[in-house]
Amino acid sequence: PKFFYPIDVRYGDIDAQGHVNNAKFLTYFEHGRTHYMRHLGLYPEGLTFMEIGVILADVQITFLKPVHWEDRVQVGVKTTRLGNKSMTVLQTIEDRESGEEFARGKVVMVAYDYHQKKTVPIPEAWRGIISAYEGD
């Protein structure tokens, strides 16, 4: 990915085994995706996630090594596929300095209108922005 967002590992993220609980990886992924979408300008000032949102439809994570409390990590985000209503996003959690991966995963997001409570096509403006950024 070319987009990375730093994550501060909080003491409360640590489980009894002394490493970041696996459920927190989903939160880290979500945090990275949210900042990716804001970075791309998909949610300009005044537009909220309730106007045109995305919902998580599928997630797969491969855990490669544990993250500990003082590890300096970042989340990488890259959109690899734009369908009609869904998009596939590859994500990594890695060391900020070395790039060594702690985890990698793939999520499928679906464009969703929260007011009408139904899926919608991915906006054309989003397609152009994402494709230009990712080089597709």
Dihedral pair phi/psi, residue 56, rounded to 5°: -80, 120
Q: What's the pLDDT tens digit per position in 119-136?
A: 999 999 999 999 999 996
| Average model confidence (pLDDT) across the chain | 94
Q: How far apart are CA 93 and CA 67, in angstroms?
A: 9
Task: Looking at the chain, list the stretches that DSSP marks H as alpha helix, in order from N- to C-terminal side.
Answer: 22-39, 124-134
pTM, 2 dp: 0.92
